[in-house]
Amino acid sequence: MAKSPADPAAVHAANLDRAKPLLAKLRADGIGHFIDGKTVPSVSGATFETHSPIDNALLATVARGSAADIDAAAKAAEKAFKPWRDLAPETRKALLHRVADAIEDHADDIAVLECIDTGQAWRFMAKAALRAAENFRFFADRAPEARDGRNMPAGEHWNMSTRVPIGPVGVITPWNTPFMLSTWKIAPALAAGCTVVHKPAEWSPVTADLLVRLAKQAGIPDGVFNTVHGFGEDAGKSLTEHRAIKAIAFVGESSTGSAIMAQGAPTLKRVHFELGGKNPVIVFDDADLERALDAVVFMIYSLNGERCTSSSRLLVQDTIAEKFNVKLAARVRALKVGHPLDPATEIGPLIHARHLAKVVSYFDIARQDGATIAVGGKPHDGPGGGHYVQPTLVTGASATMRVAQEEVFGPFLTVIPFKDEADAIAIANGVEYGLTGYVWTADMGRGLRVSDALEAGMIWVNSENVRHLPTPFGGMKASGIGRDGGDYSFEFYMETKNISLARGTHKIQRLGV
Ligand code: NAD
């Protein structure tokens, strides 16, 4: 009997079939930089290899950029800036919608390639390209109003503010959900009238190359959007130091953010940082515990836990901690680790052997600090033999332990009990990060009080993370500087200019008469 398309085995097989010719082409062609509308090798001829986290298979040989390649891309972006800036915003809007169309047309290819390059499970990646297309549409629609300012009449003058695009910008992105995430930056930058040099993460170059080529096919003029591959310490560093680049939008680790700030200081770079997190989910004993449980499990074990907004610390009220932990442990034990292209898979392999080693090192750190590994705590022998790890639950932790303080960035949850509201707030705020917070309670007064007290850029009450594009996205403390989303994005990619017009012939002080 023929299997229905919804049958997991049939979907898995279809995903593998879809991947085969894409991978063959990738291996044959390799990945070059994309500068001034053309695919080019590195000036030095240097390359690096990218491998799949599923089985370590070679995916592609990739151009390894350095200062000379960044210089070529920055010059192309500089040359393209004025014509792009001066294009009618309605034309920019139409072009960006065409990029969204191209992404939608290739959404299935993007999904399978992203799974194979990053190890993220298809169930989460299947829609990631569509979300990227949505990012382009959202900012395309706002392109015509990006320059709008305010009227501020005053006494003898009429003041008008307007915004102008800042110039060519650098976008530096990490490897977790790389396609979708890069479009949060690239789409508003282009809509604002900036030109872009993108430096994607060296561990996930595949879909970044696809994105820039789709943009070209959609009609984005040469030089407006360029991509240079390579490592942070050379290509990334050169981008942050280049004189023609006026701003750097960066997503990655907090320590890299510090380095970029120092590298960009001599050229006075404007920076926007989206950095690490150790986000608390606080569950009070009056909460809807079934929904809270669903959200707790989803927000740390989806996307392999390689998610900046993951709730990696569960703060649970001591009155319900035992009962809640038992249910939680059962759910974690039942999570399905497997091949990323299998739609039944909930957790795929981690991005890289080095990242796996980092996550695994926290098992010993937990034990040494006196916490209990209630579930998991070992690498996992998954299909292909890649960088799989068991989803892990750590209980009996105190707020100062390293597993309660440091970002693990894997399927690794630390549970910390608390007594009351004040205790929960103190524990939640007692880390260097401040990206998101999640609060579960039936008492809306408490929900608001706790949200107000949490040191984090984004709080969800009785919800998991649901992104709404007009809202501000970003973190406090070591989690970032600046906000993405809606007009917040344009504030970053544009300069505000005030124009003051004399209404008449007001008195001007006369000197030297
Ligand atoms: P990373 O900081 O190691 O690398 C990110 C990017 O920066 C890569 O492209 C890398 O090549 C580049 N880079 C590294 N050193 C550089 C330098 N000196 N100059 C310029 N560029 C340099 O981060 P990662 O390991 O790729 O990603 C994981 C991190 O990203 C986690 O900390 C995670 O929380 C964070 N993240 C944050 C958000 C957010 O929105 N706050 C979203 C996703 C990921």
Residues of the chain with pLDDT > 90: what percent? 99
Q: Specify if 163 maps to a domain.
A: yes
Q: Is the pLDDT of residue 5 over 80?
A: no
- Residues 174, 178, 184: CA angle, nearest 5 degrees: 95
What pLDDT is stored for residue 91 in this prediction? 98
Instruction: Clarify whether residues 306 and 185 are in a common domain.
Output: no
Distance, CA of 326 to CA of 317 (rounded, Å): 14
pLDDT band for position 6 (50/70/90)?
confident
Which ligand 1 atom is nearest residue 177's CA? 43
DSSP characters over 323-391:
HHHHHHHHHHHT--B--TTSTT-SB---S-HHHHHHHHHHHHHHHHTT-EEEE--SB---TTS-S-B--
Instruction: Clarify whether residues 290 and 200 are in a common domain.
Output: no
What pLDDT is stored for residue 1 in this prediction? 44
Give the residue with greater pLDDT, 3 vs 422: 422
How far is the centre of ligand 1, averaged over its atoms, from the C-alpha of 250 (Å)? 7
Task: Just list the catalytic residues.
Answer: 274, 308
Q: Specify if 4 maps to a domain.
A: no
Average pLDDT, the chain: 97
How far is the centre of ligand 1, averaged over its atoms, from the C-alpha of 232 (Å)? 9
Distance, CA of 94 to CA of 61 (rounded, Å): 34
Residues of the chain with pLDDT > 70: what percent? 99
- Residues 328, 349, 480: CA angle, nearest 5 degrees: 75
Instruction: Clarify whether residues 339 and 408 are in a common domain.
Output: yes
pLDDT digits (tens, 9 = 90+) for 395-441: 999 999 999 999 999 999 999 999 999 999 999 999 999 999 999 99
pLDDT digits (tens, 9 = 90+) for 353-407: 999 999 999 999 999 999 999 999 999 999 999 999 999 999 999 999 999 999 9
Instruction: Clarify whether residues 320 and 381 are in a common domain.
Output: yes
pLDDT band for position 299 (50/70/90)?
very high
Instruction: Clarify whether residues 261 and 305 are in a common domain.
Output: no
- Residues 92, 70, 307: CA angle, nearest 5 degrees: 70
Q: Specify if 467 maps to a domain.
A: no
> What are φ and ψ of residue 300, in 5° steps?
-120, -30
Distance, CA of 104 to CA of 130 (rounded, Å): 6
pLDDT digits (tens, 9 = 90+) for 118-129: 999 999 999 999
Q: Could you tell me the two tokens for 504?
A: 């008449």
CB 274, CB 431: distance < 8 Å: no
Q: At what angle are helices 107-118 and 178-192 packed, to 10 degrees? A: 120
pTM > 0.95: yes or no: yes
CB 140, CB 102: distance < 8 Å: no
Distance, CA of 143 to CA of 97 (rounded, Å): 11
Instruction: Clarify whether residues 258 and 304 are in a common domain.
Output: no
pLDDT digits (tens, 9 = 90+) for 176-205: 999 999 999 999 999 999 999 999 999 999
Q: Specify if 200 maps to a domain.
A: yes
Instruction: Clarify whether residues 185 and 330 are in a common domain.
Output: no
Q: Which residue among 120, 171, 251, 261 has the greatest number of ligand 1 atoms within 8 angstroms of its CB, and so is best to mutate?
A: 251
What pLDDT is stored for residue 67 in this prediction? 98
Q: Which domain holds residue 79?
A: 13-275+479-497
Instruction: Clarify whether residues 367 and 401 are in a common domain.
Output: yes
Instruction: Clarify whether residues 168 and 291 are in a common domain.
Output: no
Task: For residues 48-59, give the mean pLDDT.
Answer: 98
Say whether 232 sits in a helix, a strand or coil.
helix
Q: Could you tell me the two tokens for 92?
A: 């920019």
pLDDT digits (tens, 9 = 90+) for 316-349: 999 999 999 999 999 999 999 999 999 999 999 9
**202 touches ligand 1 (CB under 6 Å):** yes
pLDDT digits (tens, 9 = 90+) for 88-109: 999 999 999 999 999 999 999 9
Q: Is the pLDDT of residue 229 over 80?
A: yes
CATH number at residue 445: 3.40.309.10
**273 touches ligand 1 (CB under 6 Å):** no
Number of domains in the chain: 2
Output the residue whose Cα is nearest ligand 1's atom 14. 232
What pLDDT is stored for residue 4 in this prediction? 56
Distance, CA of 228 to CA of 210 (rounded, Å): 13
Instruction: Clarify whether residues 288 and 321 are in a common domain.
Output: yes
SS (H, E, C) 290-333: HHHHHHHHHHHHHHHHCCCCCCCEEEEECCCHHHHHHHHHHHHH
pLDDT band for position 2 (50/70/90)?
very low
Flag the least confident range among 1-5, 154-158, 256-260, 304-308. 1-5
Instruction: Clarify whether residues 197 and 335 are in a common domain.
Output: no
Element (H, E) at 240: helix 237-241
How far is the centre of ligand 1, averaged over its atoms, from the C-alpha of 172 (Å)? 8
pLDDT digits (tens, 9 = 90+) for 431-490: 999 999 999 999 999 999 999 999 999 999 999 999 999 999 999 999 999 999 999 999
